[in-house]
Amino acid sequence: MESADTPPESKKHPTPYPLVFMRFRPAWAYIDGIREFGRFFCQTTFGTQELADRACVVIQETLENAVKYSSNSADSELELSILSDGQSIEFSVSSLPDASHLSSLRQELNGLQTLDPEQAYLAAFIRASNEPDASARLGLARIRYEGGVELAMKEESGGRIRITATGKL
Amino acid sequence: MSHFSSVQIPKAETVAIQLTAPNQVKLSGTITQKDPSNDLAGFFKALHTAALADKLTEVRADVSGLTFVNSSAIRLFVDWATWVKNERGQRYTLRFVTSRNVTWQKTSFMALMSLAKEVLAIEQVS
Protein backbone atom coordinates (compact mmCIF):
# COMPACT_ATOMS: atom_id res chain seq x y z
CA MET A 1 0.00 0.00 0.00
CA GLU A 2 1.42 3.38 -0.92
CA SER A 3 0.17 6.87 -0.35
CA ALA A 4 1.50 10.40 -0.63
CA ASP A 5 3.13 11.76 2.50
CA THR A 6 1.63 15.13 1.84
CA PRO A 7 -1.83 14.62 0.37
CA PRO A 8 -1.96 17.74 -1.87
CA GLU A 9 1.06 16.43 -3.84
CA SER A 10 -1.13 13.74 -5.33
CA LYS A 11 -3.08 16.41 -7.18
CA LYS A 12 0.01 17.85 -8.85
CA HIS A 13 1.54 14.87 -10.60
CA PRO A 14 0.06 12.26 -12.90
CA THR A 15 0.56 8.97 -11.08
CA PRO A 16 1.70 6.02 -13.16
CA TYR A 17 1.46 3.66 -10.19
CA PRO A 18 -1.42 2.97 -7.83
CA LEU A 19 -1.82 5.25 -4.84
CA VAL A 20 -3.23 2.18 -3.12
CA PHE A 21 -2.64 -1.46 -3.94
CA MET A 22 -4.00 -4.28 -1.81
CA ARG A 23 -4.10 -8.03 -2.32
CA PHE A 24 -6.13 -10.27 -0.05
CA ARG A 25 -8.15 -13.46 0.11
CA PRO A 26 -11.78 -13.08 -1.00
CA ALA A 27 -13.38 -12.98 2.45
CA TRP A 28 -16.49 -10.99 3.33
CA ALA A 29 -15.01 -10.14 6.72
CA TYR A 30 -12.42 -7.84 5.14
CA ILE A 31 -14.85 -5.63 3.20
CA ASP A 32 -15.92 -3.27 6.00
CA GLY A 33 -12.35 -2.53 6.98
CA ILE A 34 -11.17 -1.97 3.42
CA ARG A 35 -14.15 0.29 2.66
CA GLU A 36 -13.44 2.42 5.71
CA PHE A 37 -9.77 2.59 4.80
CA GLY A 38 -10.84 3.77 1.33
CA ARG A 39 -13.01 6.45 2.93
CA PHE A 40 -10.13 7.61 5.12
CA PHE A 41 -7.65 7.51 2.24
CA CYS A 42 -9.80 9.56 -0.15
CA GLN A 43 -10.80 12.04 2.53
CA THR A 44 -7.17 12.50 3.60
CA THR A 45 -5.62 12.54 0.13
CA PHE A 46 -8.18 14.54 -1.81
CA GLY A 47 -9.82 16.43 1.03
CA THR A 48 -13.45 15.99 0.06
CA GLN A 49 -16.15 14.19 1.96
CA GLU A 50 -18.10 13.77 -1.27
CA LEU A 51 -15.32 11.73 -2.88
CA ALA A 52 -14.86 9.73 0.31
CA ASP A 53 -18.56 8.78 0.27
CA ARG A 54 -18.38 7.83 -3.41
CA ALA A 55 -15.31 5.71 -2.73
CA CYS A 56 -17.19 3.81 -0.03
CA VAL A 57 -19.96 2.81 -2.42
CA VAL A 58 -17.56 1.80 -5.19
CA ILE A 59 -15.34 -0.24 -2.87
CA GLN A 60 -18.19 -1.91 -0.97
CA GLU A 61 -20.16 -2.98 -4.01
CA THR A 62 -17.24 -4.02 -6.24
CA LEU A 63 -15.68 -6.06 -3.45
CA GLU A 64 -19.02 -7.66 -2.53
CA ASN A 65 -19.44 -8.80 -6.12
CA ALA A 66 -15.87 -10.04 -6.30
CA VAL A 67 -16.13 -11.97 -3.03
CA LYS A 68 -19.55 -13.45 -3.81
CA TYR A 69 -18.51 -14.83 -7.17
CA SER A 70 -14.87 -15.75 -6.55
CA SER A 71 -13.77 -19.25 -7.34
CA ASN A 72 -12.56 -21.44 -4.49
CA SER A 73 -9.14 -22.00 -6.00
CA ALA A 74 -5.91 -21.11 -4.24
CA ASP A 75 -5.07 -18.29 -6.67
CA SER A 76 -8.34 -16.41 -6.25
CA GLU A 77 -6.88 -13.47 -4.34
CA LEU A 78 -8.53 -10.12 -4.95
CA GLU A 79 -6.56 -7.05 -5.89
CA LEU A 80 -7.82 -3.54 -5.24
CA SER A 81 -6.02 -0.51 -6.55
CA ILE A 82 -6.83 3.19 -6.48
CA LEU A 83 -5.17 5.44 -9.04
CA SER A 84 -5.42 9.11 -9.87
CA ASP A 85 -3.92 11.39 -12.51
CA GLY A 86 -5.00 14.51 -10.70
CA GLN A 87 -8.16 14.90 -12.76
CA SER A 88 -9.87 11.55 -12.36
CA ILE A 89 -9.89 8.64 -9.96
CA GLU A 90 -9.92 4.97 -10.83
CA PHE A 91 -10.86 2.05 -8.62
CA SER A 92 -9.81 -1.28 -10.02
CA VAL A 93 -10.71 -4.72 -8.65
CA SER A 94 -9.20 -7.88 -10.10
CA SER A 95 -10.67 -11.26 -9.20
CA LEU A 96 -10.95 -14.84 -10.36
CA PRO A 97 -14.67 -15.53 -10.67
CA ASP A 98 -16.52 -18.75 -11.26
CA ALA A 99 -16.87 -19.13 -15.01
CA SER A 100 -20.64 -19.39 -14.62
CA HIS A 101 -20.78 -15.81 -13.34
CA LEU A 102 -19.03 -14.21 -16.31
CA SER A 103 -21.85 -14.18 -18.82
CA SER A 104 -24.38 -12.71 -16.38
CA LEU A 105 -21.89 -10.03 -15.36
CA ARG A 106 -21.23 -9.16 -19.00
CA GLN A 107 -24.96 -8.99 -19.66
CA GLU A 108 -25.59 -6.82 -16.60
CA LEU A 109 -22.84 -4.36 -17.51
CA ASN A 110 -23.97 -4.14 -21.14
CA GLY A 111 -27.53 -3.48 -20.01
CA LEU A 112 -26.39 -0.72 -17.70
CA GLN A 113 -24.49 1.11 -20.42
CA THR A 114 -27.66 1.62 -22.43
CA LEU A 115 -29.10 3.95 -19.79
CA ASP A 116 -27.73 6.98 -18.02
CA PRO A 117 -26.72 6.27 -14.42
CA GLU A 118 -29.84 7.68 -12.80
CA GLN A 119 -32.21 5.92 -15.20
CA ALA A 120 -30.30 2.67 -14.75
CA TYR A 121 -30.56 2.92 -10.96
CA LEU A 122 -34.30 3.57 -11.15
CA ALA A 123 -34.67 0.65 -13.56
CA ALA A 124 -32.82 -1.59 -11.10
CA PHE A 125 -35.23 -0.52 -8.33
CA ILE A 126 -38.21 -1.34 -10.54
CA ARG A 127 -36.74 -4.73 -11.41
CA ALA A 128 -36.11 -5.49 -7.74
CA SER A 129 -39.66 -4.48 -6.90
CA ASN A 130 -41.10 -6.66 -9.65
CA GLU A 131 -38.93 -9.67 -8.79
CA PRO A 132 -39.18 -10.01 -5.01
CA ASP A 133 -37.71 -13.50 -4.95
CA ALA A 134 -34.70 -12.74 -7.16
CA SER A 135 -31.40 -11.36 -5.92
CA ALA A 136 -31.27 -7.57 -5.62
CA ARG A 137 -28.88 -6.78 -8.50
CA LEU A 138 -28.79 -3.13 -7.46
CA GLY A 139 -25.05 -3.00 -6.83
CA LEU A 140 -23.59 -2.18 -10.24
CA ALA A 141 -26.23 0.44 -11.00
CA ARG A 142 -25.62 1.94 -7.56
CA ILE A 143 -21.88 2.14 -8.22
CA ARG A 144 -22.45 4.14 -11.39
CA TYR A 145 -25.06 6.51 -9.97
CA GLU A 146 -24.02 7.01 -6.38
CA GLY A 147 -20.31 6.48 -7.05
CA GLY A 148 -20.29 8.85 -10.01
CA VAL A 149 -18.17 6.47 -12.10
CA GLU A 150 -18.33 4.55 -15.33
CA LEU A 151 -17.72 0.81 -15.21
CA ALA A 152 -15.69 -1.39 -17.53
CA MET A 153 -14.77 -5.04 -17.44
CA LYS A 154 -11.63 -6.57 -18.90
CA GLU A 155 -10.95 -10.27 -19.13
CA GLU A 156 -7.36 -11.10 -18.25
CA SER A 157 -5.19 -14.17 -18.47
CA GLY A 158 -5.88 -17.17 -16.28
CA GLY A 159 -9.62 -16.50 -16.13
CA ARG A 160 -9.22 -13.35 -14.06
CA ILE A 161 -11.38 -10.28 -14.67
CA ARG A 162 -10.78 -6.64 -13.83
CA ILE A 163 -13.64 -4.29 -13.03
CA THR A 164 -12.62 -0.68 -13.39
CA ALA A 165 -14.65 2.24 -12.05
CA THR A 166 -13.50 5.62 -13.31
CA GLY A 167 -14.87 9.02 -12.39
CA LYS A 168 -14.00 12.64 -11.82
CA LEU A 169 -12.17 13.69 -8.71
CA MET B 1 -50.23 -2.61 23.59
CA SER B 2 -50.38 -2.24 19.82
CA HIS B 3 -49.31 -4.95 17.42
CA PHE B 4 -46.60 -2.63 16.11
CA SER B 5 -45.08 -2.04 19.53
CA SER B 6 -45.10 -5.78 20.22
CA VAL B 7 -43.01 -6.76 17.22
CA GLN B 8 -39.92 -8.66 18.31
CA ILE B 9 -36.72 -6.72 17.58
CA PRO B 10 -34.04 -8.89 15.97
CA LYS B 11 -30.48 -8.92 17.22
CA ALA B 12 -28.15 -7.62 14.55
CA GLU B 13 -24.45 -6.97 15.03
CA THR B 14 -23.93 -3.60 13.40
CA VAL B 15 -27.34 -1.99 13.51
CA ALA B 16 -29.25 -0.73 16.53
CA ILE B 17 -33.03 -1.02 16.25
CA GLN B 18 -35.61 0.66 18.46
CA LEU B 19 -39.37 0.96 18.36
CA THR B 20 -39.64 4.56 19.55
CA ALA B 21 -43.38 5.13 19.16
CA PRO B 22 -46.47 3.04 18.29
CA ASN B 23 -45.78 3.80 14.64
CA GLN B 24 -42.04 4.48 14.56
CA VAL B 25 -38.94 2.35 14.13
CA LYS B 26 -35.45 3.77 14.33
CA LEU B 27 -32.35 2.15 12.83
CA SER B 28 -28.80 3.35 13.26
CA GLY B 29 -25.36 2.01 12.50
CA THR B 30 -24.41 0.18 9.31
CA ILE B 31 -25.88 -2.77 7.39
CA THR B 32 -23.30 -4.56 5.27
CA GLN B 33 -23.87 -8.23 5.95
CA LYS B 34 -23.81 -10.63 3.03
CA ASP B 35 -27.50 -11.33 3.43
CA PRO B 36 -29.14 -8.77 5.72
CA SER B 37 -32.54 -10.23 4.92
CA ASN B 38 -31.75 -13.01 7.41
CA ASP B 39 -31.96 -10.49 10.25
CA LEU B 40 -34.23 -7.82 8.88
CA ALA B 41 -36.64 -9.02 6.18
CA GLY B 42 -38.86 -10.86 8.66
CA PHE B 43 -38.74 -7.89 11.02
CA PHE B 44 -39.83 -5.40 8.34
CA LYS B 45 -42.57 -7.78 7.24
CA ALA B 46 -43.77 -8.10 10.84
CA LEU B 47 -43.85 -4.29 11.17
CA HIS B 48 -45.84 -4.07 7.94
CA THR B 49 -48.34 -6.70 9.08
CA ALA B 50 -48.64 -5.05 12.51
CA ALA B 51 -49.19 -1.62 10.95
CA LEU B 52 -52.09 -3.02 8.93
CA ALA B 53 -53.53 -4.78 11.99
CA ASP B 54 -53.29 -1.53 13.99
CA LYS B 55 -54.88 0.37 11.07
CA LEU B 56 -52.07 2.89 11.18
CA THR B 57 -52.24 5.73 8.70
CA GLU B 58 -48.50 6.33 8.80
CA VAL B 59 -45.37 4.39 9.75
CA ARG B 60 -42.18 6.33 10.37
CA ALA B 61 -38.92 4.55 9.61
CA ASP B 62 -36.12 6.72 10.94
CA VAL B 63 -32.99 5.69 9.05
CA SER B 64 -31.14 8.96 9.54
CA GLY B 65 -28.59 7.23 11.74
CA LEU B 66 -27.77 4.53 9.19
CA THR B 67 -24.43 5.81 8.02
CA PHE B 68 -23.81 3.16 5.39
CA VAL B 69 -25.66 0.18 3.92
CA ASN B 70 -25.00 -2.18 1.05
CA SER B 71 -27.32 -2.72 -1.88
CA SER B 72 -28.75 -5.87 -0.31
CA ALA B 73 -29.99 -3.69 2.55
CA ILE B 74 -31.41 -1.12 0.13
CA ARG B 75 -33.33 -4.03 -1.37
CA LEU B 76 -35.09 -4.51 1.97
CA PHE B 77 -36.46 -0.96 1.80
CA VAL B 78 -37.56 -1.59 -1.80
CA ASP B 79 -39.42 -4.68 -0.61
CA TRP B 80 -41.13 -2.82 2.23
CA ALA B 81 -42.25 -0.03 -0.09
CA THR B 82 -43.52 -2.65 -2.56
CA TRP B 83 -45.57 -4.44 0.12
CA VAL B 84 -47.31 -1.17 0.99
CA LYS B 85 -47.79 -0.22 -2.66
CA ASN B 86 -49.33 -3.60 -3.48
CA GLU B 87 -51.68 -3.59 -0.49
CA ARG B 88 -55.24 -3.78 -1.82
CA GLY B 89 -57.20 -2.68 1.23
CA GLN B 90 -56.44 -0.04 3.80
CA ARG B 91 -52.82 0.96 3.66
CA TYR B 92 -50.53 3.43 5.33
CA THR B 93 -47.98 6.00 4.29
CA LEU B 94 -44.43 4.79 4.82
CA ARG B 95 -42.42 7.82 5.85
CA PHE B 96 -38.64 7.47 5.78
CA VAL B 97 -36.85 9.96 8.00
CA THR B 98 -33.46 10.49 6.34
CA SER B 99 -30.40 12.61 6.93
CA ARG B 100 -29.44 15.22 4.37
CA ASN B 101 -25.82 14.69 5.45
CA VAL B 102 -25.64 11.02 4.46
CA THR B 103 -24.99 10.56 0.75
CA TRP B 104 -26.45 7.09 0.23
CA GLN B 105 -29.73 8.18 1.76
CA LYS B 106 -30.13 11.11 -0.63
CA THR B 107 -29.60 9.02 -3.76
CA SER B 108 -31.33 5.81 -2.80
CA PHE B 109 -34.45 7.24 -1.18
CA MET B 110 -34.92 9.58 -4.12
CA ALA B 111 -34.91 6.51 -6.37
CA LEU B 112 -37.24 4.68 -4.01
CA MET B 113 -39.63 7.62 -4.02
CA SER B 114 -39.98 7.40 -7.77
CA LEU B 115 -40.89 3.75 -7.42
CA ALA B 116 -43.81 4.15 -5.01
CA LYS B 117 -44.54 7.82 -4.52
CA GLU B 118 -48.21 7.18 -3.80
CA VAL B 119 -47.38 5.41 -0.54
CA LEU B 120 -44.01 6.91 0.43
CA ALA B 121 -42.93 10.13 2.06
CA ILE B 122 -39.37 11.26 2.64
CA GLU B 123 -38.52 13.61 5.48
CA GLN B 124 -35.02 15.05 5.70
CA VAL B 125 -33.37 16.02 8.96
CA SER B 126 -29.92 17.43 9.66
Specify the pTM.
Answer: 0.92
Q: ipTM more than 0.90?
A: yes
Number of neighbours of residue A96 by Cβ within 10 angstroms: 22
Instruction: Give domain limits for chain A.
Output: 7-168
Do A155 and A161 contact (CB within 8 A), yes or no? yes
Shortest alpha-carbon distance between residue B1 and chain A (Å)? 32
Say yes or no for a CB contact (<8 Å) between B71 and A32. no
Distance CA A58, CA A51 (A): 10
Give residue ranges of A with CB < 8 Å to any B CB.
Answer: 28, 31-32, 35, 50, 53-54, 56-57, 60-61, 64, 68, 118, 121-122, 125-126, 128-129, 132, 136, 138-139, 142, 145-146
Least confident of A52-66, A82-96, A97-111, A142-156: A97-111
The domain A7-168 is placed in CATH, from the list 3.30.565.10, 3.30.465.10, 3.40.50.2300, 3.50.50.60, at 3.30.565.10
Do strands B15-21 and B24-31 pair parallel, antiparallel, or not at all (unpaired)? antiparallel
In order of start, what are the domains of chain B with their CATH numbers?
4-125 (3.30.750.24)
Exposed, middle or buried, B64 (CB in 10 Å: 0-12/13-18/19+)? buried
Do B26 and B20 contact (CB within 8 A), yes or no? yes
Edge-first strand listing for the sheet containing A88-95: A20-24, A78-84, A88-95, A161-168, A149-155
Top residue of B14, B32, B67, B71 to mutate, by most chain A CBs within 10 Å, is B71
Say yes or no for a CB contact (<8 Å) between A61 and B70. yes
Q: What is the pLDDT along chain B (126 residues), one digit of tens a residue?
A: 899 999 999 998 899 999 999 999 999 999 999 999 999 999 999 999 999 999 999 999 999 999 999 999 999 999 999 999 999 989 999 999 999 999 999 999 999 999 999 999 999 998
